[in-house]
Amino acid sequence: MYNPGGRKKETAQTPSVGLTFIQEGFPAALNVKCHKQPELRITMMDKTAATEAKIDRSKLQSCLVRQRELFAREHLRSAELFEQARSSMLSGVPMNWMVKWAGDFPLFVREAGGAHFIDVDGHEYIDLCLGDTGAMTGHAPPAAVEAIVERVRHGTTFMLPTEDSIWVAQELSRRFGLPFWQVALTATDANRFAIRLARQITGRKLILIFNWCYHGTVDETFITLEGGIAGVRRGNLGPAVDPTETTRVVEFNDISALEAALKDGAVACVLAEPAMTNIGIVQPEPGFHQALRDITRRTGTLLILDETHTICAGPGGCTQAWGLQPDMLTLGKPIASGIPAAVYGFSRDVAGRIAQAMSVGDSDTSGIGGTLAGNALSIAAMKATLEHVLTEPAYERMIALASRFTEGVQSVIQEKHLPWIVKQLGCRAEYWFSSEPPLNGGQAAAAVDSDLDCYMHLSALNAGILITPFHNMALISPATSEADIDRHSQVFRESVEAILG
């Protein structure tokens, strides 16, 4: 196990800034210095290198068994609490996703600070999952904690605005270029509200999403393509309406399919991440975003960009970094340093159309908003996060460390001649068990190797490193250190060497 016991002290490292990385075939405007634009790169094994290494599947299975046994031995208290929890919580956890980890039970956390947390068995971990982006700020950043505690002392929710809300809206406008904003509690809510508003002001029923996208638990988005045919996504529980009746779905980067799906003028909005992140990182092909914007404008379709994960690209997400021009934008998770909060913004034209469609008398029964949305605590936490935590200098350092992560993984891929790739978007990076980067969600889903995923996650966890459970992705916080990244590179190497034939 990695450093069991008390939290170690980290010395802040001076980031390397102004680095230039080139991704062949990507728009020249995006191949720029990382303190100006997000790091967006793909590195692959040299195809002229020696014969590709082979994963020994029998070794893999043996190693996986040993890692599971080690996990069980080292986490007795977590196992005990999990058994207790099963008598009072569905699946033994307060939220059903918390069961989806590589071990046979989830870790129970005792405390966290910065880029580390300690479990109830006293083991310390480097956190590269960061609550699947919810803690991208690092755990308990001091500036946010101070503002949160101060707000709690003076009341947290009034269903009335506070002065901080003006500052937050103005800062969001500065970062993302949209002049009007509203506040919700989750990105799911923000996406739901944006979709409802799009339907209202366009008079259209349908929406369009990209295959294998993820936008929270929005009913309309649980739809995938199987053999080119749209259907309910596997695992979708109790849908009120078959999503094929509400949603069209095409592959990301497929401009012809996008054009065909929108040409009849029946779609109210396209809901999209600037780059896909929840089926792994799938980057836009050259010209895709320009085509997406041109087609949506020509067909009268509103464009909603969900920056909840792609806020990793910089202070204004991909929207600012790539000069995108959405009609609406949604953002949640890290924006309030772990306090539930989300926002959705509008262009001036969209805001005017919304104003014409709403009345003060019906504002509380519109299906938009909520009693706790825009509460004073969420607003105070957002102000502190935007002003003091997710700042330009913080991103420069985070992106540089993500590049260090990428280079560490790539060095092993190259040395061992693995047919794998590693990808990076800003302060987010991941490795894939495939030789070519997927162009869309369908290709990404087909490249999943469940046994390898499970082994690499559990091997890292037993060595004191937590990565995102849904894929092999690492996220860098302002508190992450060079030592944390180098530790991952070492563990990654050891994990790979144990399963090579």
Q: pLDDT tens digits, residue range 301-310? A: 999 999 999 9
Quote the percentage of the chain above a pLDDT of 90: 85
Over 60: is that where the pLDDT of 255 sits? yes
Over 70: is that where the pLDDT of 20 sits? no
Strands of 144-228, DSSP E: 180-184, 206-210, 223-226
pLDDT, position 24: 30
Q: Taking Cα atoms as reference points, which of 201, 117, 95, 54 lies closest to residue 496?
A: 54
Strand-pair partners of 225: 230
- What's the average model confidence in pLDDT over 303-325? 98
- What's the average model confidence in pLDDT over 66-90? 97
CB 498 within 8 A of CB 455: no
- What's the average model confidence in pLDDT over 340-359? 96
CA quadruple 349, 350, 352, 357: dihedral positive or negative?
A: positive
**What is the 3-state secondary structure of 333-349?**
HHHHCCCCCEEEEECHH
β pairing state of 223-226 and 229-232: antiparallel
- Rg value, the chain, Cα: 22
Over 60: is that where the pLDDT of 11 sits? no
What is the per-residue pLDDT across 175-219, written as a single tens digit (0 to 9) for each?
999 999 999 999 999 999 999 999 999 999 999 999 999 999 999
β pairing state of 267-272 and 206-210: parallel
By mean pLDDT, which of 39-53, 155-169, 313-327 is the weakest? 39-53
- What's the average model confidence in pLDDT over 264-271? 98
- What's the average model confidence in pLDDT over 258-269? 98
How many residues make up the chain in this entry? Answer: 501
Terminal-residue alpha carbon distance, the chain? 25
The model's confidence at residue 46, banded by pLDDT at 50, 70 and 90, is low
pLDDT, position 501: 84
Q: Which domains are seen in the chain, by residue range?
A: 30-136+392-497 (3.90.1150.10), 142-389 (3.40.640.10)
Quote the percentage of the chain above a pLDDT of 70: 90
83: which 2 tokens? 């058994």
Distance (Å, whole) CA 427 – CA 422: 13
pLDDT, position 362: 86
pLDDT, position 1: 38
Strands of 312-398, DSSP E: 328-331, 342-346
277: which 2 tokens? 């992140």
**What is the 3-state secondary structure of 185-206?**
CCHHHHHHHHHHHHHHHHCCCE
The model's confidence at residue 118, banded by pLDDT at 50, 70 and 90, is very high
For the chain, the average pLDDT equals 91
Distance (Å, whole) CA 274 – CA 287: 13
The model's confidence at residue 45, banded by pLDDT at 50, 70 and 90, is low
pLDDT, position 84: 98
* pTM of the complete model: 0.90
- Please report, as a single letter, which amino acid is at residue 348: R
Of 52 and 397, more confident: 397
Distance (Å, whole) CA 49 – CA 31: 26
pLDDT, position 53: 82
What is the per-residue pLDDT across 121-137, written as a single tens digit (0 to 9) for each?
999 999 999 999 999 99
Distance (Å, whole) CA 495 – CA 457: 10
The model's confidence at residue 42, banded by pLDDT at 50, 70 and 90, is low
Over 90: is that where the pLDDT of 3 sits? no
Residue 365 has what DSSP assignment? G
What is the per-residue pLDDT across 476-488, written as a single tens digit (0 to 9) for each?
999 999 999 999 9
- What's the average model confidence in pLDDT over 263-280? 97
